C-alpha cells in the first residue's frame, strides 16, 4: 500500500484515498500517454500521480502555504490558473479528508485498529444484508398468505351465495343419494301345455275307484237300432 511519508510521520494512502486521487487525475486529464511514460521513466522523473501525492503531503505537513501549493501545482502540470485552483480545491475537499497523519511509532497500532474497524464494518454490512433477505422472505410469505386468504374468502363467499340461492328456489342443500333398485327376477319358462294336460289326465285316472279283481267288468248297454224312414211312405196327418 503506497504511503506519503515524512520523518516520524506516516500518511497512509489506502484504497479509498487512492480511488479519490485517481479520480482527480482523470477529471483534469493529468494521465500520461505512452510517450510521456517512456520519457519520464528514462529521465527518472515522477509521474503526475506521484507529484500530486508529494505536494498533498507537504501541504498537510504545512511545508507549503496555500500560495506555494497553487504555484507548485501550476508549475508541475502546466495548467491554467483557474484549472489549477480547481485541482487544489478537489484535493483539499475530497482527498485530504480521506488521509490521516500518523506518528511512525503508532503505525502498527493504527493498522490494527483500522483492521478491526474494517472487520466490524464488513460484519455489520453482512448482518444488514442478511436482515434484508429475511425481511424479504417475511414479506414474500405474508404476500403468499394474503393471496391464499383472499382466494379462500372468494370460495367461501361463492359457497354461501350458492346455498342462499338454493334455499330461495326450494332446493335442498344436499342431493339425496340414489336408491338402489332391486334387480328384476329372471324369467322362468313354465311347463309345456302338453305336459300339463297329460298330468291332468293322469291325476283323473288315479282318482277313479279301482275295480275289484273278482268283479267282472260291466259291458256298456248296446245302442238302440236306428229306425229307418220309408221315403215312399206319405205322412198321415
Cβ atoms 88, 69 nearer than 8 A? yes
Q: What residue spans define the domains of the chain?
A: 3-100, 108-168
Q: What is the C-alpha to C-alpha distance for residues 163 and 174, in angstroms, rounded to an integer? A: 10
**Pairing, β 3-6 against β 102-103:** unpaired
Tens place of pLDDT per residue across the chain (237 aa): 555 544 578 888 888 999 999 999 999 999 988 888 898 888 888 899 999 999 999 999 889 999 999 999 999 999 999 999 999 999 999 999 999 888 877 777 777 777 787 788 888 888 888 888 888 888 888 888 888 888 888 888 888 888 888 888 875 545 555 666 666 655 555 544 456 667 667 766 766 555 444 455 555 555 655 555 555 554 444
Give the C-alpha separation, 221 to 233, whole Å.
32
Stated as kind and residue range, the H or E segment containing 221 is none
Asked whether 70 and 85 are in contact (CB, 8 A), the reply is: yes
Amino acid at each position: 500500500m503506497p504511503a506519503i511519508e515524512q520523518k516520524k510521520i506516516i500518511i497512509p494512502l489506502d484504497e479509498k484515498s487512492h480511488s479519490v486521487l485517481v479520480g482527480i487525475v482523470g477529471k483534469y486529464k493529468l494521465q500520461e500517454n505512452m510517450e510521456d511514460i517512456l520519457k519520464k521513466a528514462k529521465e527518472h522523473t515522477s509521474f503526475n500521480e506521484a507529484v500530486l501525492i508529494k505536494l498533498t503531503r507537504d501541504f498537510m505537513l504545512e511545508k507549503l502555504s496555500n500560495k506555494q501549493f497553487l504555484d507548485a501545482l501550476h508549475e508541475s502540470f502546466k495548467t491554467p490558473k483557474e484549472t489549477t485552483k480547481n485541482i487544489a480545491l478537489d484535493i483539499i475537499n475530497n482527498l485530504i479528508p480521506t488521509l490521516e497523519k500518523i506518528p511512525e511509532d503508532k503505525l502498527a497500532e493504527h493498522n490494527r485498529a483500522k483492521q478491526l474497524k474494517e472487520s466490524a464494518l464488513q460484519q455489520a454490512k453482512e448482518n444488514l444484508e442478511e436482515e434484508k433477505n429475511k425481511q424479504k422472505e417475511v414479506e414474500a410469505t405474508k404476500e403468499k398468505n394474503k393471496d391464499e386468504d383472499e382466494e379462500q374468502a372468494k370460495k367461501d363467499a361463492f359457497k354461501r351465495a350458492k346455498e342462499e340461492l338454493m334455499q330461495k328456489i326450494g332446493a335442498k342443500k344436499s342431493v339425496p343419494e340414489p336408491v338402489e333398485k332391486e334387480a328384476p327376477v329372471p324369467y322362468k319358462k313354465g311347463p309345456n301345455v302338453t305336459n300339463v294336460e297329460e298330468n291332468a289326465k293322469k291325476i283323473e285316472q288315479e282318482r277313479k275307484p279301482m275295480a275289484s279283481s273278482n268283479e267282472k267288468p260291466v259291458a256298456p248297454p248296446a245302442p238302440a237300432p236306428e229306425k229307418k224312414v220309408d221315403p215312399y211312405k206319405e205322412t198321415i196327418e
